[in-house]
């Protein structure tokens, strides 16, 4: 297949963004960071808190898995519906509601008197991060100049990784006092930041235009671009919003031309999760202790090291993504994941026979996370923001994001049980086999989008010959 037949540099063009849009780009970047922090902090914080929650409430394995996974149920459902809810009520209003739900959920967790209340709080927090994960990218895409869209999507993943790292550090700080309530309660901070940000940020010009508020849309555009000279862009938005008013439906995604795009979004969403990233992110201290590092603080510190690798390698990926393209990074990173999952399984195999390989296990975990951070991590979120036509972008992005949360839920709900029934070696080898599937899927199906405008990518799906090429590779 000629996957590289799709096109070049969204991020390149963002680097060349006109100076008049710089202020806006800066504000949007901060906004993206807050949305990603919510996502990262809340999914990451549970890894260190779990040990103490287990002690406080005397949890069974299944209850521990529920404490970890309940966030994901809310997230899955509300990521899928988030896009269309924001079509009806507005991106800004939905994000304000998101921040309120999110703050309330974090407080319920912090003051929970029973495991049931804790799980309720985790579901509320999940609703917040599910909404944030589909509406934040939509909001950013609609206020961004087209030339800045690409790198901002990758900034979203960067913020996720920073949120996870901050969560690990919070876990480390509160470990001596067994302060799991503080660990979960601190999530209020990004929630407040998001709410405060949205009070000052405007509704998107595209949403306003779609609802017929053209004057307001022009005023907002002038404000966020920092110039009166917005007529050309305003006319584009007006035209696009009129097209978007012909509301897209799920059935559009099933049309032959768009089916490959649907498959890619859903497929990558599943593969991003079933290759095991969150067994490391959520259960890292547990795995490290299983590998033989017995001190509680030692294992949490090693986890923070893993979080740092995640942030740094995401930065590396952002630097490389326009230079080498999405496909080479994706394929190289997944290959690294396959090798490290194989090695990890092997280490646990030796460990079971009495080896002392805890340090090596941590190094391999870091290599695994580094491989994910340059590939499936950022590139999944980037591709689902890039590959869908404008008319159905929110809907399709929501479906892909929701699928990702569902897959995340299944993996984290089953991980401890798998460890118990299969043992660590076979469990990691299983993820390794799924990573091989993920490599083949990406090799045969994922197109190269480097350097292409969203409109060019949109055209790509409708060019029959190229779609046929894609199909013939599938077959």
Residues that bind ligand BGC (CB under 6 A): 43, 157, 160-161, 164, 272, 277-278, 281, 310, 377, 380-381, 404, 408
* In the complex, least distance from residue 399 CB atom to ligand BGC, rounded to whole angstroms: 15
| Centroid of chain to Cα 344 | 25
By beta-carbon proximity to ligand BGC, the closer residue of 127 and 237 is: 127
By beta-carbon proximity to ligand BGC, the closer residue of 69 and 161 is: 161
Which helix (DSSP H) or strand (DSSP E) does residue 428 occupy?
Answer: helix 393-445
The Cα 469–Cα 356 span in angstroms is 51
The Cα 178–Cα 100 span in angstroms is 27
By beta-carbon proximity to ligand BGC, the closer residue of 65 and 203 is: 65
CB 326 within 8 A of CB 446: yes
Main-chain phi, psi angles of 462, to 5 degrees: -95, -5
By beta-carbon proximity to ligand BGC, the closer residue of 115 and 140 is: 140
* In the complex, least distance from residue 470 CB atom to ligand BGC, rounded to whole angstroms: 25
DSSP states along 454-465 = HHHHHHHHH-HH
By beta-carbon proximity to ligand BGC, the closer residue of 132 and 164 is: 164
By beta-carbon proximity to ligand BGC, the closer residue of 278 and 303 is: 278
* In the complex, least distance from residue 1 CB atom to ligand BGC, rounded to whole angstroms: 26
* In the complex, least distance from residue 99 CB atom to ligand BGC, rounded to whole angstroms: 20
The Cα 59–Cα 49 span in angstroms is 13
Q: How far is CA 207 from CA 150, 243, 274, 388, in A?
A: 20, 12, 35, 18
- 230 SS3 class: coil
* In the complex, least distance from residue 447 CB atom to ligand BGC, rounded to whole angstroms: 20
The Cα 469–Cα 475 span in angstroms is 10
The Cα 347–Cα 325 span in angstroms is 33
By beta-carbon proximity to ligand BGC, the closer residue of 13 and 404 is: 404
Q: Which two tokens stand for residue 32?
A: 């993206």
* In the complex, least distance from residue 16 CB atom to ligand BGC, rounded to whole angstroms: 27
- How crowded is residue 261: how many other Cβ atoms within 10 Å of its Cβ? 28
The Cα 374–Cα 379 span in angstroms is 8
Could you identify the residue written with the tokens 């899955």? Answer: 76
**Cα-Cα end-to-end distance for the chain:** 11
* In the complex, least distance from residue 103 CB atom to ligand BGC, rounded to whole angstroms: 22
Measured in residues, the chain has a length of: 475
* In the complex, least distance from residue 277 CB atom to ligand BGC, rounded to whole angstroms: 5
Contacts of 80 (CB under 8 A, 6+ apart): 130, 134, 398, 399, 401, 402
- The single-letter DSSP state of residue 390 is G
* In the complex, least distance from residue 79 CB atom to ligand BGC, rounded to whole angstroms: 11
Query: Closest Cα partner for 298 from 290, 288, 308?
Result: 288
By beta-carbon proximity to ligand BGC, the closer residue of 139 and 380 is: 380
- The single-letter DSSP state of residue 454 is H
* In the complex, least distance from residue 321 CB atom to ligand BGC, rounded to whole angstroms: 14
By beta-carbon proximity to ligand BGC, the closer residue of 40 and 205 is: 40
Query: Closest Cα partner for 432 from 340, 310, 361?
Result: 340
* In the complex, least distance from residue 420 CB atom to ligand BGC, rounded to whole angstroms: 23
């Amino acid at each position: 297949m000629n996957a590289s037949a799709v096109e070049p540099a969204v991020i390149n063009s963002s680097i060349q963004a006109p100076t008049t849009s710089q202020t806006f780009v800066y504000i949007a970047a901060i906004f993206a960071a807050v949305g990603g922090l919510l996502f990262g902090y809340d999914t990451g914080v549970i890894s260190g808190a779990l040990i103490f929650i287990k002690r406080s409430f005397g949890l069974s394995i299944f209850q521990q898995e529920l404490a970890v996974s309940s966030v994901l149920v809310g997230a899955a459902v509300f990521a899928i519906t988030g896009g269309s809810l924001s079509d009806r009520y507005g991106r800004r209003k939905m994000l304000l509601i998101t921040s309120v739900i999110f703050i309330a959920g974090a407080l319920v967790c912090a003051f929970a008197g029973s495991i049931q209340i804790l799980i309720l709080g985790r579901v509320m927090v999940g609703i917040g991060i599910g909404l944030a994960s589909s509406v934040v990218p939509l909001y950013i895409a609609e206020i961004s100049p087209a030339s800045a869209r690409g790198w901002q999507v990758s900034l979203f993943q960067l913020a996720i990784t920073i949120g996870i790292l901050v969560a690990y550090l919070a876990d480390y700080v509160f470990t001596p006092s067994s302060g799991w309530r503080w660990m979960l309660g601190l999530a209020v901070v990004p929630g407040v930041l998001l709410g405060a940000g949205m009070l000052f940020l405007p509704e998107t010009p595209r949403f306003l235009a779609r609802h017929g508020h053209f004057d307001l849309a022009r005023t907002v555009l002038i404000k966020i671009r920092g110039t009166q000279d917005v007529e050309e862009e305003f006319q584009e938005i007006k035209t696009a919003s009129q097209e978007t008013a012909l509301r897209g439906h799920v059935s559009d995604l099933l049309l032959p031309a768009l089916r490959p795009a649907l498959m890619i979004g859903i497929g990558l969403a599943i593969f991003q999760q079933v290759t095991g990233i969150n067994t490391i992110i959520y259960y890292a201290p547990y795995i490290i202790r299983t590998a033989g590092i017995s001190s509680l603080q030692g294992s949490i510190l090693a986890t923070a090291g893993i979080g740092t690798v995640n942030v740094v390698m995401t930065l590396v990926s952002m630097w490389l993504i326009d230079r080498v393209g999405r496909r080479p990074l994706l394929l190289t990173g997944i290959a690294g994941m396959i090798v490290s999952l194989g090695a990890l399984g092997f280490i646990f195999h030796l460990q079971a026979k009495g080896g002392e390989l805890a340090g090596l296990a941590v190094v391999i975990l870091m290599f695994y996370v580094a491989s994910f951070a340059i590939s499936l991590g950022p590139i999944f979120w980037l591709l689902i923001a890039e590959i869908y036509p404008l008319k159905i972008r929110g809907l399709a992005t929501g479906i892909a994001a929701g699928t990702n949360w569902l897959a995340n839920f299944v993996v984290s709900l089953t991980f401890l049980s798998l460890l118990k029934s299969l043992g660590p070696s076979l469990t990691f080898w299983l993820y390794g086999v799924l990573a091989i599937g993920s490599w083949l899927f990406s090799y045969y199906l994922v197109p190269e989008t480097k350097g292409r405008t969203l409109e060019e990518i949109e055209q790509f799906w409708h060019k029959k010959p190229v779609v046929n090429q894609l199909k013939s590779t599938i077959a």
